[in-house]
Chain A
C-alpha cells in the first residue's frame, strides 16, 4: 500500500502498527483512475474485530468483482493511533490506497451493534467529514449504513444519507449504478436521494417526517415526495447463486476470528422470542453441501488457514450437516484442517455428530439454554428440555469433554427469582451428570462455566414492547445467582449491566437520540462496547443535557397500538404474528419450529413466497 511519509512517522509510536499499514495477503489494489466509483467500507470498531466479520469479506469481494468499482477497508483506529493522527493532522485513510476518506464517492458503515454508534461519528470527524447529513450538501461522499442495527436506525438517522435494509449483496450493485449515473449527470444530492428511495431496500431518513405526541411517543411517520410509505428489506433468494469470496484477506496481526468462516445457512427456524437475529434474517435459506465444501477448500488453499468455522445462527439445524461433515473430513483430515461448529443446539446433537466432532481438534463445548427453568424456557420459546440438555451433557462427557460452557440471560420477561436460582440448579445437574457417568474421563474433574448476559428487548421480536429490567434489578438478580451457586466446579461470569442499559436505549430509540449520541461523542465517548473505554457517567450527563430521559426507552412497557419508531421499516415479519407470540409468552406456551409447522411469520412473502423450512417440512 502507499501510506504517506506522515503515517510512517507515527507508526513506530503505536501498538500493533500492522493494523494500519494495509498490504495484507489478498487485499485488492486497483488503479484509482481506472474506476468510476470509490467505495470505503468502514467497520466502526478496531481492526481485530472488523477483520473477523464475515459480512465485510463478502461485500468487499462482491464490490471488487466489478471493474468500475474499487472497494477498500477502513477501521476505527485505536486510542493511541487516533491521538497520533490528530496530533499530526493525518486524516482517516483507507487501508488499500492510503487515501483519505474525503476522496471516496461512497462511505459505508456496517452497524453490527448499538454501542459502535459513537465510533461512526468519530471516524467521520477524523476524516474531516461533517457528522450530520444536512451539513454535507455535495453529492459525494454519500454515507450509507447497513447491518442488523438498521432495522431501527432512527438514533443514527441524522448522520446517514441512506440506509440499506436486509441482505447487502444485490442492493449494493444497484446503488453503485445509481451513484455512477448521478456523478456522470452531475445531479444534486437531493435528486440522488429521491432516486435512491426508489430502490427496494434503500431507506432515505431525510425523506420522512417524524412527529411526536406530548408523552414523547411517535405520533406519525410521514413520507415526503415520492418516498415509499414502507421500506422493505432486501433478501437474497438463493445462497448457492449469490457471490461468495474465493479469497479472504489474511491479516498479519492476529484478529479475533482468524480462520476460514463459512455461512452455511441464513435465517433461523427456531423463533426464540428474545432473539432479533432469529427474526430479521428470515426466511431461512440453506446453502448446498457441495457449494460449501468446494468454497471451503478454495478458501483454505488461498489463505493457508488451518481452521474452518461453519457459521450460522443454529448450525445443527442445517439439514445436510452430516453429509457436509463427511465431504469436508475427506480432505481436511489429510490437510490438517480443523473444523469448528459453533452454535450447536442441545436437542439435535446426534451421536454421529459427536463422532465427527471428536475426529477434529477438540475445543470446548458451548450450549445456550438461555433460561434456568422449563417454564421460562417455554416462555421465551427456547424449545429445549432439561432432559435433552442433560443427555447432551452425558454424551459430551462420554466423548471425553470435561469443560462445558452454558449461556444464560438475566432479565427476561416474566422472570422470577426462582428462574434465576434455576440457572445454578441446572448447572449443578450438569455437574452431577458428570460424576454419575461411568464413561467419564478418568482422573479429571469437570468445569461448568456459566456466562450470563443481560436481556435487551429488540425491535422485530415478540418482546419489542417489553420493559427492560433496571440496572438495580439486574444487579440484584446477578447477586441472587451468585449466592445460589454452591460449588467451585461452577464459575459465573456476566456482562456489565450499564452497557446493556445503553444498548437498550439505542435499540428501541428514536431520532431524539441523535443529539444525545453527538453530545456524548463530543464529550469523548467512543469504543463504548469496550469495558475500559465505556464512560457511563458521561453518557448520563449527555442525556441530561439534551433533556432526554433514557428510562423512557428502556423501562416503559409499550402498548401493542403504539406507533414504534421503526414501524415504517418492513422486515417481512407481520406485526400481528409478533403480537400473538408476545401473548403466548405470558401463557408459557411454545411455538413449534418452522419445519414442524409454519407459524406464519410472513417473511417468505418478501422472498416470492419461498422459504426453505416450508419446502423441507413438506417432504
Chain B
C-alpha cells in the first residue's frame, strides 16, 4: 500500500459541484478507472481518499489535490493514464505525484478574482486600489463564539498577505494571497463581495484558486 497525490483542475461548470459531491464523484471516477485501491480493513471496507483543502462552492481552481491509497505495483504514470479518461466532466487531471507536504502545512491560498465590468474598468481599478491601500477594510464574517455561530467584524487588510491588480478590456483581475488552511481561513469572496457592494456599477465576479502555499510561501506539493 502506498499513497499518491492526484493533482487536478476544477474549472467551468464543475465549480458548482460542492465539496461533498466532488468526493463522491471522484470516488466513482477512481472506480471507473479501475485503480487498484487499498480498502480499509474494518467491518465496512471503504477506499481511503482525502482532499487537501475544500474549495468553496462556485469557485474554480487550478490547484486541487486528492490523496488516495493504492495497492500493487502501478507507477504514478500508470495511475495518471488510468485516471485520464475517467474524470467527470469539468475535472481535468494534471499529474500524479508522491505526496511531499502534509495538507496540515497549508497556510495560504493565492486567488484570482475576475470582475466583469459593464462600463470602463478605470473606476473599478481605482476603487480596489483605494480600498486595499487603506488601514482598515471591515467586513462581517461568520465565526464561532463557543458553540454558537455569530457574525464577527474582521479587518481584511490584516489578512491580505499581498495583492496585484490589473485590467484587460472590460475585466479587472485582482490577484490576492489570503490565509487558507486548517487554522485560519479567509474566503476571498468576502473581499469580492465588499468590492461589489461599493462599486458604482453592477459587477459580477468569478474566483479561481491558483495555488496553495506553505507558511514560508513555498508551494504545497
* A binding-site residues for B, Cβ under 8 Å: 1, 3, 9, 11-12, 16-18, 21-25, 250, 252-254, 258, 301-306, 335-336, 361
A5 to chain B, nearest CB (A): 9
| In the assembled complex, B146 has its CB within 8 A of some CB on chain A | no
Taking a contact as CB atoms under 8 Å apart, the answer to whether A25 and B18 are in contact is no
B39 proximal to A (CB < 8 A): yes
Contact B28 A304, beta carbon cutoff 8 Å? yes
- Whether, in the assembled complex, B31 has its beta carbon less than 8 Å from a beta carbon of chain A, the answer is yes
Residues of B with C-beta under 8 A to A16: 18
- Picked from A18, A302, A336, the residue with its CB within 8 Å of the CB of B32 is A302
Quick one: closest B residue to A300, CB to CB?
B31
Over the window 21-42 of chain B, the binary record of Cβ atoms lying under 8 Å from chain A Cβ atoms (1 yes, 0 no) is 1101101111110000001000
Within the complex, which residue of A17, A23, A335 is in contact with B58, where a contact is CB–CB below 8 Å?
Answer: A17
Contact B45 A336 (CB under 8 A): yes
Asked if B190 lies at the interface with its beta carbon under 8 angstroms from chain A, I say no
| 28 chain-A/chain-B pairs, Cβ below 8 angstroms | A1-B13, A11-B58, A17-B16, A17-B58, A18-B17, A18-B21, A22-B13, A23-B13, A23-B89, A24-B88, A24-B89, A25-B89, A250-B25, A250-B28, A250-B88, A252-B14, A252-B17, A252-B25, A253-B18, A253-B21, A254-B20, A254-B24, A301-B32, A304-B27, A304-B29, A304-B30, A306-B31, A335-B31
B34 CB to nearest A CB, Å: 8
Q: Is the interface of A mostly helix, strand, loop or mixed?
A: loop
A9 and B204 contact, Cβ closer than 8 Å, known pairs A253-B21, A306-B31:
yes
Find the A residue at minimum CB distance from B37: A336
> B57 interface residue, CB < 8 Å from A?
yes
Question: Known pairs A18-B17, A252-B14, A361-B44. 11 more at Cβ < 8 A?
Answer: A3-B13, A11-B16, A12-B58, A17-B58, A18-B16, A22-B13, A23-B90, A25-B89, A258-B24, A304-B30, A304-B32
- Tell whether A305 pairs with B28 under 8 Å between CB atoms, given A17-B57, A254-B21: yes
B60 to chain A, nearest CB (A): 12
In whole angstroms, how far apart are the Cα atoms of A253 and B30 in the complex?
Answer: 18
State how many residues of chain B have any CB contact under 8 Å with chain A. 26
Q: Which residue of A lies closest to B30 (CB)?
A: A304
Of residues 63 to 119 in B, which have CB atoms within 8 Å of A's CB atoms?
A: 86, 88-90
Residues of A within 8 A of B45 (CB): 336
> A1 contacts which chain B residues (CB < 8 A)?
13
Question: Which parts of B172-221 form the interface with A (CB within 8 Å)?
Answer: 204
| Minimum distance in angstroms from B150 CB to a CB of chain A | 23
List residues of chain B with CB within 8 A of the CB of A9: 204
| B30: A residues at CB distance < 8 A | 304
Closest to B29 in A: A304
CA distance A9 to B90 in the complex (A): 19
Residues of chain B contacted by A336 (CB below 8 angstroms): 39, 45
Closest 4 CB pairs of A and B: A304-B28, A304-B31, A304-B32, A17-B16
Tell me whether B58 and A21 are in contact (CB under 8 A).
Answer: no
Q: Once bound together, how far apart are the Cα atoms of A335 and B14, in whole Å? A: 28
C-alpha spacing A301/B34, complex, angstroms: 9
Find chain A residues with CB under 8 A from B14 CB.
Answer: 23, 252
Bound complex: CA A302 to CA B28 (Å): 10
In angstroms, how far is the closest chain A Cβ from the Cβ of B113? 14
- Chain B proximity of A302: nearest CB distance (Å): 7
Q: Residue of B at shortest CB range from A12? A: B58
Q: Are A252 and B21 in contact (CB under 8 A)?
A: yes
Distance between Cα atoms of A3 and B12 in the complex (Å)? 11
Which residues of chain B have C-beta atoms less than 8 A from A11's C-beta?
16, 58
Q: Which residues of B contact A303 (CB under 8 A)?
A: 28, 32
How many whole Å from B38's CB to the nearest CB in chain A?
A: 12
Closest beta carbon of chain A to B24's beta carbon, Å: 7
Q: How far is the CA of A303 from the CA of B31 in the complex (A)?
A: 9
Distance between Cα atoms of A188 and B76 in the complex (Å): 63
* Complexed CA–CA distance, A302 and B31 (Å): 10
How many angstroms between the C-alpha atoms of A159 and B16 in the bound complex?
35
List chain A residues, Cβ under 8 A from B44.
Answer: 361
Chain A residues near B21 (CB, 8 Å)?
18, 252-254
Q: Which residue of B lies closest to A9 (CB)?
A: B204
Report how far A3 CA is from B90 CA in the complex, Å.
14
Of chain B, the residue at the smallest CB distance from A25 is B88
Give the residues in chain B near A12, CB-CB below 8 Å: 58
B39 touches A252 (CB 8 A): no
Asked if B90 and A18 sit within 8 Å, CB to CB, the answer is: no
Q: Which residues of B contact A250 (CB under 8 A)?
A: 25, 28, 88
CB-based nearest A residue for B57: A17
User: Are A18 and B29 neighbours in the complex by a CB distance under 8 Å?
Assistant: no
Give the chain B neighbours of A21 by CB distance below 8 A. Answer: 13, 16
A101 to chain B, nearest CB (A): 21
Cβ–Cβ < 8 Å partners of A18 in chain B: 16-18, 21
